Structure 1
Amino acid sequence: MKVLILGATGFIGFPAAEAFVRAGHIVYGTTRSARSAEQKLSPKEIIPVVADPSSEEGMAEWGKIAARCDIVVDALSANGAKTAIDTFHNYLQYVNRPKGSPKPTYIYTSGLWINSRGYGGLDKWTDERQPTSTYNEGVQWRPLIEIPVLESEKVHGIVIRGAVVYGREGSAVATSIFDRALEASKTEKKIFETVYQNESRVASIHTDDMADLYVRVAERGPLLRGQVFMASNQATERLTDVLDAVVRVSGCNGYKAKTPRSAYEEAWASTTLIKPSLGDALTGWKPKKMSLVDGMDIYWSSYLANKNLNE
């Protein structure tokens, strides 16, 4: 198949693009940087599409390529519905296959915080078969794009909701925890501040395992249209266990709670109790990487190495 990854140099998009290449597909990937195209995408056999994916010129550039592809994956970062909706509508403008032809598949990358119900008993647990919640105010825009994708008659629309993604550069784990710990390790007190609650439990997934789910779902697009898949490990982890592991590997002496100052930080400290099953039931997908706590030595070292390379 021909695959287009929107956001192919990103923390989620790049591993997904690599996974599609390994699976034998022809893979295109958008990047804003000619340097990234030359140094990051082309060496991995990903065909670069150098364009700002949200500008008028860029949308026209990738839209023409998307029209020739069987799969389009939106792995662009988004802080609101407008950009994601504009991206999807732009794609639909270019999908003009003859009547009776196979429909292409469109995968939108969402997030698990829209399923969070807080910490508690069985009533707080969720999976792919449960509706979204209103628990986290900062992600209430997600359904505004998810619903049009899932209900589209023009494409096979699928949503993948990612948990807190870890591995490699660290993503949100880096900005919320690793960066703070690294900075604190160079101070006299060696204590870092981060947002957490004592009862917080986090659902997480390694970026390579999430990439594997993209491939499995995309290859079965016509069968899985209208479905939501949760990309998460089978077990959640206590956020303080994650922080304790970071203290151990970073050389810090400890951490203290920081007051949430945004809806994002409120969501970060919220608990997501989840046991995903649809990916396994329909595609045989099973995460293989060590959990964030168990593999902390590896993930901290990878974070440091990637940070040094990027600097």
Structure 2
Amino acid sequence: MKVLVLGATGYAGFHVARALRQEGHTVLGLTRDAAGTRAQELVVEEIHPVEGRLSDPDSYRTALEEADAVVCAALDMDDPLGSDRKLFQTLREAEQHTGRSRHLVFTTGITFLTTTREVWDETTPPAPDNPLYVRAQAEQDLAASGMPHTIVRPSFIYGGSARSSKSAQWFTDARNGHSAFYGDVTKRYSWVHVDDLAAAYVAILERPEVADGNIFMFGDEHQPKLLSVQQACLRVAGYTGDITFQSAQSGGMLESCADRDELVTSEKAQKLLGWSPRHPGILEDTLTYYAAWDRARPAG
């Protein structure tokens, strides 16, 4: 199978692209700079860089028409819903032009959901007043399109290079000599290792007929307090200072939106896809995750 991965140089997207290649698929990876360092890392992993942007469908149209399936692990922060809709339209046009459809694995998240339940599953409704509600709107547009698709909602990601993860922020805090915790000190999150998440995409594309039209939540069974995770990350990074406690609002929009328990069950993914997390959890091997982040940092 030939798979186009949008966001292949991002945190999750890179691991997804690599996992698909390791399963023997031909993988095309969208990147803003095909000559850049991150794109060259794709080449090392036998992934073919395609220079372009999610906001510019013409830049990836040819690659999409060549592909049998598409993974979207990218988010256009300038126009998230607009770029997602352009992607959906481009898929429809490709189907009309080539006479065949492509299964889209579309990535959103969990922070736009409501707090109506203690543990969230795929039926937990979105919150219309949430600033991230545009992700729910994209899901709704995709479901209404009738195109073959699967929606992936990861919990908080950790492991590997860490890149855009919360753990990377705390490792960086330790280097900088100060760290803050935002909001409710009792809140708990679900987490998923980036390689376990990548395995989920592989499982979906191995059985697209089972996954078609479904939403899946991905997280492990551990539900640690966020403060405990932050403390562990700081400790293994050598931080001996204090943590300052600030309001969620002072941390910005994302901290405000996630200032609550964000716990998921992956029972549906386990049942339909045979997926289960294989890593021991972010608190069980934090030193290893710190070492991986440290080694992945650019020189200088």
Partner of 1:160: 152
Question: Hey, what's the Cα distance between the residues in 2 that align with 1:174 and 1:248?
Answer: 12
Residue 286 of structure 1 deviates from its aligned partner by: 0.8
The one of 114, 121, 126 aligned to 2:120: 126
Residues 1:303 and 1:136: Cα distance change in structure 2 (over 3 Å): farther
Kindly report structure 1 stretches of 4+ aligned residues shifted beyond 3 Å: none
Question: Hey, what's the Cα distance between the residues in 1 that align with 2:168 and 2:131?
Answer: 18
- Contact residue 137 and residue 263 of structure 1 kept, 8 A: no
Question: Hey, what's the Cα distance between the residues in 1 that align with 2:53 and 2:90?
Answer: 13
Partner of 1:48: 49
- Contact residue 114 and residue 124 of structure 2 kept, 8 A: no
Partner of 2:262: 272
SS of equivalent to 2:277: coil
Partner of 1:18: 18
The one of 279, 287, 290 aligned to 1:289: 279
Q: Structure 2 unaligned runs (5+)?
A: none
- Contact residue 157 and residue 194 of structure 2 kept, 8 A: yes
SS of equivalent to 2:55: coil
Which residue type is aligned with residue 290 of structure 1?
A: P
Matches within 5 A, 1:87-102: 87-96=87-96
Residues 1:241 and 1:230: Cα distance change in structure 2 (over 3 Å): same
Matches within 5 A, 1:106-145: 106-117=104-115, 123-128=117-122, 130-134=123-127, 137-145=130-138
Residue 52 of structure 1 deviates from its aligned partner by: 2.8
Q: Structure 1 unaligned runs (5+)?
A: 185-190
SS of equivalent to 1:248: helix
Residue 131 of structure 1 deviates from its aligned partner by: 3.0
Which residue type is aligned with residue 248 of structure 1?
A: R
What is the number of equivalent residue pairs in this alignment? Answer: 293
Which residue type is aligned with residue 124 of structure 2?
A: P
Which residue type is aligned with residue 66 of structure 2?
A: R
Question: Hey, what's the Cα distance between the residues in 2 that align with 1:146 and 1:275?
Answer: 19
Matches within 5 A, 1:1-311: 1-36=1-36, 39-55=40-56, 59-79=57-77, 80-96=80-96, 103-117=101-115, 123-128=117-122, 130-134=123-127, 137-153=130-146, 155-170=147-162, 171-174=164-167, 176-184=169-177, 191-253=178-240, 254-259=242-247, 260-261=249-250, 262-307=252-297, 309=298, 311=300
Which residue type is aligned with residue 149 of structure 1?
A: L
Which residue type is aligned with residue 179 of structure 1?
A: T
Question: Hey, what's the Cα distance between the residues in 1 that align with 2:65 and 2:34?
Answer: 23
Please list the CA deviations of residues 249-271 of structure 1 after superposition, one character each: whole Å capped at 9, or x if unmatched.
12223312222233211123321
Residues 1:310 and 1:142: Cα distance change in structure 2 (over 3 Å): farther
Question: Hey, what's the Cα distance between the residues in 2 that align with 1:204 and 1:177?
Answer: 15
Question: Hey, what's the Cα distance between the residues in 2 that align with 1:152 and 1:112?
Answer: 22
CA RMSD of aligned residues (A): 2.1
Partner of 1:188: none
